[in-house]
Structure formats: structure tokens, C-alpha cells
Structure 1
């Protein structure tokens, strides 16, 4: 009876022990099968399958000394030249022709642009610490002055085209030319502001960096850049090339012993524009196309593109230093007024001024003096 009562008690205990034994044995078999199938000792990880961050240490190091140095040189030389143009025009009230009005506006645009360079120079050496509104204002002024300068260069070439290639028709409207130049200058500044609105709106401070279109869609960025390149660069360049080609053709048909000098001046103007401005816009076009295709997949190619942008951008900025020499200082009357201003400011001695004036009288007996740079008089 006692043995019979123990058996029902032993059945559950034996059943539990059997289940535990089976589970343990299955677990051991499963572990052995897993180790056999996934032997981690023989696995080689292919890290090329993982996206790696493109290192830009060399680019940052290059920018930290190259950009501030170039910006400082451009700012100093450009401000001296353009401020001399502005002071000469204001002091002697030389706004008599369309070219005078356009040159004064061009000098003002270049001066505004040059005043933003110290902010960018400081940002390349460290971090942007001036806040969002200063960031937007700096980028906005930079773009407004850039586009207004391009449009003003286009208008100067148009004015020279009518003054030389269409001299008869230009003479009939001479009395209204100054008024038209002032109205057109206001229109050009308004267009430049409209071109610059996207940068003002979409410029942000992120990661202590002042950057436009940082988190915007690729389609928006590409559309704005293409529109700006067409309206702010391609169109002015084509108009300038057309005007200067027609001017050269007119000069070649003229019987003037000064035409060779005039042609050389035109070639210098066009050559400087193409050498200093075209590379930057070509690099920007490559960057836009790369962005439209999904961006660069190679870190070295991406870094080379940024290096090219920095160098060509500095060349484009350097053109602001050359504008006074190419467009203002080349005029005989303007140079006379400039030397008078330097003498009155004490920057030029009386002897040097009279020596220059005597030299000018000798040259005036050989060539007719001009009122503006329209005829490219040296």
C-alpha cells in the first residue's frame, strides 16, 4: 500500500526530470549547430559596405591661411582703388555722362562687397560667432554687390557700344543720357536685390558656420543656382562679348592712329573678365551638375572640387581690385582729376603734379583729350 501511494507522487517528478533533460540536450545541439554554421573566427568584415565620413582636414587647414590672406590683400587694395574713384567723382562732381554714373555705382558696389571680406576672413580662421542676422546681412550684401557689379559692367559695355559703334544715334540722345543712366542704375540695384533674396532667406548658422541652403531640398538649390548663373553671369558676359566685338569691328574700320591702343584696352577688359570670373562660374557649374547627379561619391574628388572653388573664388574677388584700373583710371580726364585730388589731400607733391601736367601737355599736342573713358583714351 505504501509502495502504491509513492508511485503517483514519483510520476510528476520523473516527468519534470525528463523534460529538463530533453531541453538541455536540444539546447546543446542547437548551440553546436549555430557555432558550426556561423563560425565567427573565419569572418572578414568588408568595411567598404559601410558609409564613411569624408575627411576634410587638409581643406580646413588650407582655408584657415589661404582665404584670410587673400581676402585681406583683396580688401586693402580694392578699397584704396575704389574709394579713390568715389572721392574723385564726388569731389569734382564728374557725373556728366552715362559712363560716369555707371563707374560710380560700380565703385560703390565693389566697396560694399569688399567690406564683407573681413567677416568671411575671420570665419575661416575660427567659428561664426556674430549671430544669424549678421550672417544673413553679410551674405545678402555680398550677393547684392556681386550681381550689381556684373550688371553694371554689362551696362558700361552697352554704353561704349552706342558711343563708338552707334555714335550718330548716341549723340541725338546725349542730353537724356545722364538721366537714363541714373534710372537704369536704380533698376539694376533692384534686380541685384531680387537675385540675392534666396540667399537672404535660406542662409542659416549651423555648426557655428554661416551657410546658405544647408537643409534645403536639392531641387531648390539647383534651381536657384542655375537662375543666378544665367541672369547674373551668362547674360552679362554674352552682352559684353557682343558689344566689344562690335566695337573692335568699328575701330578696325576707322582711320585713327589711337585705334590700336583702344583695341588693346578692350582686349584687356575682356581678358581680365574671362580669366578672373569665368573659372569660378565654371567650377560652380560643375558643382551644380554634381549636386544634380546625387553628389560626389569619392572623397578625393569632392575635396578637389572645394579646393578649386576656393582658388577660383579668390580670383573672381580679385577682379574688384582691377576694376578701377580698367574702367576709371584709364581715362585721361579722370586721371587729371585724380592727381589734383591727391595733390589737395597732400598725397602728391606740387613738383610731381607739375611734372605730370607738363608731360600731359606734350601728349595732348599729339592726341585729343577725352572727357570719359568711352573712347578708351589712355
Structure 2
């Protein structure tokens, strides 16, 4: 958790400076919205309400998300590495997803500070922040898609999946590498064109690249939401059909998990992408733009919650992973041996038995 301690001064700096800069700072409506410059605009629109809202909303929400994501994903990574638990393709994907979400969370304090105060760190840190943010975003969404595809084959094509079990780790590593490469490629335009504006604001796209910004915004909606949603919808609908026909004691629990995964994905990502779509329109009405600013900040905060929810949906819900986590906590001196024996014994008695594939029905 030392990473969060290091990031503390960044958040404190944003709180202390935002009021002093509130009347003169150029608060660009960032890479996911219309390029509205509060300071230089000749429009009579008063954006003071939006600035006041951002002054408390962004630090509060981003700090909470950052802390929970650092805690949850750090435990996932530590458990996998401590027990050397990379035995299946899903394990590979979950470890990479935790890394992506961890990087995503680390960028949030800097992101909040860049929106509210003048950027003091220069060109290279600005580009680095946007690079980490965008690469982790794309890789996270692609890995969620890979997990759904892996679950589809492991459940609906169980015989074929079992035959390929010996090479699953190799396929998982190759797929994860391809996922990260694709994330870097799709993030290149933002990495190249991000920078510090004349008003000392760190922007994803500096002025003069509005057409490129809109194009990349649409691409992000397609690659980061529509495509994963279609793939996940197909995979999980087939999984549900297979589970309904199966006579298995884990069926009801697995169905609940699937519905939870789909619900969280839709609730967190759909409003955000709808608002992003609205920002591509060239509407300059004062009230409309103000409401769009509020909607973008709120929907983005909800969407970013995924990086701290993923560990609970995809890792902690598995029986074997929870047992490993308890053993890790015991080895670190956080809990007693009696608590581990009681918890693991209670789960075994309720589940009936535990095998290597106990969590194969958990998305």
C-alpha cells in the first residue's frame, strides 16, 4: 500500500490549490467530452457550478476508487504470486486484469489533479499519465472479454477444453500478450497528441485535433464497450443455457454470479458510453453543455468503479482463491489458524467437495 501513500500528496495538492485557481484556471472539458474552455470562452455561460462540483466530487470519488482498487487488486496479485497459482487460462487472465486495474487506479489521483489545477509536471509526465490510463482501460476491457470467452469454452465445450488443458497456460500467456499489444496500439493516438496546453492544462488532445478526438471517442465506444458487450452477451447467454440444462449443485450460484457480472458491466458502462456519445454532437446550448458536464463527471465516476469491483466479481468469489487468501492472511499474521480452518471447513461442508475446477462455473 506504499503506492497509495506516495500518491497522497497529489490529492492534497489538488484540494489545496483548487480554490485558489478556481476563478482563473482553464478547466478543459477533457478527452471524453466537448472541448469547452472555461477561461477563454466568450460565451456568457457560467460554469462556476460545474467547477464547484468537480472541486469536491472528483477528489472524493477518485480517492475512494483508488484506495479500494489498490487494496483489492494488490491482494489478488499477491495471492497469485505467493501461491504460484497460475494453473489455468482464467488464472492468467485474472492476474493480468488485476495488473491493468491496479495501473488504472494509480492514474486516477493524477487525473483528478490534472482536471482541477494547472499541470506542474511537464510534457512527459502528462503523456505518461494518459498512456497508463488509456492502456490500462483498453487492456482491462479486452481481458474481461477474454475471461467470458474462456468461461464459454470451459463450460459449453467442456470436453474440448479439457483436451487443451495442458496447453491452456501457454494460450493464456499468448492471449494476454496480444491483449496488451492491442491496448498499446489503440492508445497510440492519445499518447502522441496528448500534452500541456498554453494554459498549463494536461489534455488528451491539444487544440487543433478535434476531428481526431471525436474519431477516437467513437473508436473507444466501439472497442471498449460495444464489442465486449456483444461478446460477453453471447458467451454468458450460452453459459446460462448450458447451466439451466445441467444438473449440478453449483448451478444456482453460478447463475447468480453471471447475472451479477452482466449487471455490473451494463450499469457501470452503459450510462458512461451514452454520455460520451452525446459529447460528439456539436450543440452549444448553455444549459445543455452544463448538464452534460455534470453527467460526464458522474457517469465516469460510476464507470471507474469497475476497477475495484472486478476483484470481488472475478477472483474473491472463487472458493479456492478465497481459501488461498485466508492462508495468505494467516501467513502474514493477520488472522489465526483457527479462523482459516473454520472458514475452509465451513465452505467444504456447504459445497460438498472441492476440486481444481470448483470455480469453473464462476465467471
Relative to the length of structure 2, the TM-score reads 0.85
Q: How many residues align?
A: 322
Residue from 179, 189, 207 that aligns with 1:188: 179
In the alignment, the residues of structure 2 paired with residue 145 and residue 317 of structure 1 have an alpha-carbon distance, to the nearest angstrom, of: 12
Structure 1 residue 373 displacement after superposition: 3.1
Which residue of 288, 296, 300 maps to 1:313? 300
Tell me if the contact between 1:161 and 1:244 (Cα under 8 Å) persists in the aligned partners: yes
Match of 2:312 among 310, 322, 325: 325
Aligned equivalents of 2:170, 2:156: Cα separation in 1:
22
* Cα distance in 1 between the residues matched to 2:45 and 2:92: 49
Counterparts of residues 149-164 of structure 1 (less than 5 Å): 149-164=140-155
Question: In structure 2, what is the Cα distance between the partners aligned to 1:126 and 1:223?
Answer: 27
- Matched residue of 2:247: which SS? coil
Cα distance in 1 for residues equivalent to 2:89 and 2:196: 41
- The structural deviation recorded for 1:370 is 4.5
In structure 2, distance between residues paired with 1:94 and 1:173: 18
The 1-side partners of 2:273 and 2:224 are apart by: 10
- Find out whether 1:140 has 2:126 as its counterpart: no
Matched, 1:358 2:349: no
2:203 match: secondary structure: strand
The answer for the alignment partner of 1:223 in structure 2 is 215
Match of residue 86, structure 1, among 57, 77, 95: 77
2:118 touches 2:200 (CA, 8 Å); kept in 1?
yes
Is the 1:140–1:196 Cα contact (8 Å) retained in structure 2? yes
Q: Tell me what 1:170 maps to.
A: 161
Query: Is the Cα–Cα contact under 8 Å of residues 145 and 232 in structure 2 kept in the other structure?
Result: yes
Task: Give the superposition deviation at 1:260.
Answer: 1.2
Match of 1:245 in 2: 237
User: 1 or 2, which has the higher helix percentage?
Assistant: 1
1:211 to 203, 208, 217: 203
Return closer, same or farther for 1:373/1:131 CA change in 2, 3 Å cut-off. farther
1:41 corresponds in structure 2 to: none
Corresponding residue number in structure 2 for 1:280:
272
SS at match of 1:216: coil
Offset from partner CA, 1:11-49 (integer Å, 9 cap, x none): xxxxxxxxxxxxxxxxxxxxxxxxxxxxxxxxxxxxxxx
Give the alignment's Cα RMSD to 1 decimal.
1.7
Distance (whole Å) between structure 2 residues aligned to residue 371 and residue 251 of structure 1: 15
Counterpart in the other structure of 1:126: 117
Q: Which is worse superposed, 154-163 or 168-177?
A: 168-177
- Partners of 1:81 and 1:282 lie apart in 2 by 28
Unmatched 5+ residue regions in structure 2?
1-41
Gaps of 5+ in 1: 1-50
Checking the alignment, whether the CA contact within 8 Å between 2:134 and 2:187 is kept in structure 1 is yes
- CA displacement, residues 203-232 of structure 1 (integer Å, 9 cap, x when unaligned): 121212111223134332222221222122
Shift of 1:368: 4.4
SS in 2 for 1:105: helix
Provide the secondary structure at the position in 2 that maps to 1:376.
coil
- Note the C-alpha offset of 1:369: 4.2
Please say if residues 71 and 314 of structure 1, whose CA atoms lie closer than 8 Å, have aligned partners that are also in contact: yes
SS in 1 for 2:305: helix
Distance, in Å, in 1 between the alignment partners of 2:358 and 2:303 is 26
Which residue in 2 is equivalent to 1:57?
Answer: 48
Q: Does structure 2 conserve the Cα–Cα contact (< 8 Å) formed by 1:71 and 1:117?
A: yes
